[in-house]
C-alpha cells in the first residue's frame, strides 16, 4: 500500500471512527435491545449492529474493492488475507457498554495483503483515540506514544489478564497461571481486549494475555502495540493467524520469552 493511499484511507477511517463514537456517546442513555449470542454472557445490542452497519455502508460505497471482516454479520466471508481488509469490532467490551456505559472501544484494523497498515482504538466515553500507521509510530489523540520500556522486570510488571483462566479449564494449566499471578506486581482485567492492547501501547500495563480472541478483538491492537515495540504472539509463542481465533500474549520482547517458557503450560 503506497503512502499516499495509506494516508487517504487513514484520514477517512479516522473520520468514520470519530463519527461512530460521537453517535454512540450521544445515544448512550437511550434504551437499546440486548440479546445473547454464543452463551448467556456473550451480549450484543442494537448499538453494536448499527455501528457496524454504519462502517460497512461507508466502506462499501467508498472502497468497493475492499473487504470487511467484522463481528456482527455485515462483513464478508473471507478465506484469505489478500487485498485490503477492514477488520472491525464496532463495540469491543459490550458487557461494559451494557452494564457500565463506559470502558468500551471501537476497534478498526486495516490490513493489506496480510500486513497490518492502519489501526484505531477509540475509547468512546473518554474521547481518547489510539491510532497507528505501520512504520510511523503510535499516537494517543495525535500525541506520539513513547517506545515501551526495555527492561521491565516481570516482578515489577502489571499484566492484563482474564481471571477466568485461573479457574480449572481445558486449555491451560491453571497452576502455572496462578504462579504467574503471584510473580507479577499486579493484574488487571478491563473487559475490552482493544482497550487492554491500547494500555500496553501506552505503557500503563506491561502486557496483556488471553486465551481465545477473534480477529476483530486484536486487529487494531496488534498494529498499535507493534509500533511502540511490543510483540504479539499466541501464548505458545506462535504467529497469530488473523483469520482464526487465537490465544494472545502482547508485551515487550524482554518479558515475552520468560512468560511463555516459565508460565504458559498447556494441558
Phi-psi region of 201 (alpha: psi -120 to 50; beta: other; left: phi over 0): alpha
Q: Which of 52, 72, 89, 227 contacts ligand IPD by CB under 6 A?
A: 89
Q: Which of 93, 109, 116, 207 contacts ligand IPD by CB under 6 A?
A: 93
Residues 149-178 that bind ligand IPD (CB under 6 A): 162
Q: Which is nearer to Ca ion, 6 or 72 (CB)?
A: 72
Residue 162's binding partner out of ligand IPD, Ca ion, none, with CB under 5 to 8 Å set by partner kind: ligand IPD
Residue 191's binding partner out of ligand IPD, Ca ion, none, with CB under 5 to 8 Å set by partner kind: ligand IPD
* Contact assessment for residue 196 and residue 92, using Cβ atoms and an 8 Å cutoff: no
Three-state DSSP state, 122 = strand
Residues 6+ apart with CB under 8 A from 248: 193, 208, 209, 210, 213, 218, 232, 233, 234, 235, 240
Residue nearest to Ca ion (CB): 92
Distance CA 157, CA 168 (A): 24
Residues that bind Ca ion (CB under 5 A): 71, 89, 91-92, 217
Residues 30-49 that bind ligand IPD (CB under 6 A): none
Give least dist CB 75 to ligand IPD, A.
14
Q: Does 206 bind ligand IPD (CB under 6 A)?
A: no
Residue with cell 442494537: 46
Amino acid at each position: 500500500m503506497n503512502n499516499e493511499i495509506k494516508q487517504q484511507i487513514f484520514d477517512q477511517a479516522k473520520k468514520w471512527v470519530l463519527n461512530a463514537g460521537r453517535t454512540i456517546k450521544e445515544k448512550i442513555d437511550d434504551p437499546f435491545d440486548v440479546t445473547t449470542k454464543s452463551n448467556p454472557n456473550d451480549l450484543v445490542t442494537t448499538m453494536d449492529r448499527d455501528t457496524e452497519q454504519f462502517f460497512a455502508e461507508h466502506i462499501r460505497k467508498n472502497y468497493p474493492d475492499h473487504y470487511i471482516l467484522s463481528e456482527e454479520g455485515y462483513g464478508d466471508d473471507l478465506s484469505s488475507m489478500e487485498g485490503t481488509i477492514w477488520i472491525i469490532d464496532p463495540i469491543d467490551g459490550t458487557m461494559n457498554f451494557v452494564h457500565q456505559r463506559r470502558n468500551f472501544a471501537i476497534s478498526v484494523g486495516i490490513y493489506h495483503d496480510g500486513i497490518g497498515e492502519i489501526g484505531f482504538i477509540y475509547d468512546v466515553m473518554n474521547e481518547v483515540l489510539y491510532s497507528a500507521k505501520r512504520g510511523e509510530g503510535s499516537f494517543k489523540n495525535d500525541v506520539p506514544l513513547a517506545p515501551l520500556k526495555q527492561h521491565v522486570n516481570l516482578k515489577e510488571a502489571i499484566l492484563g489478564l482474564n481471571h477466568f483462566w485461573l479457574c480449572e479449564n481445558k486449555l491451560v494449566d491453571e497452576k502455572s497461571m496462578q504462579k504467574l499471578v503471584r510473580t507479577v506486581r499486579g493484574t488487571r482485567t478491563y473487559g475490552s481486549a482493544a482497550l487492554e492492547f491500547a494500555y500496553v501501547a501506552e505503557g500503563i500495563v506491561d502486557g496483556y494475555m488471553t486465551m481465545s480472541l477473534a480477529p476483530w478483538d486484536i486487529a487494531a491492537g496488534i498494529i498499535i502495540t507493534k509500533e511502540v515495540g511490543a510483540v504479539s504472539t499466541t501464548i505458545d509463542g506462535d504467529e497469530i493467524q488473523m483469520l482464526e481465533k487465537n490465544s494472545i500474549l502482547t508485551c515487550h520482547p524482554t518479558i515475552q520469552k520468560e512468560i511463555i517458557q516459565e508460565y504458559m503450560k498447556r494441558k
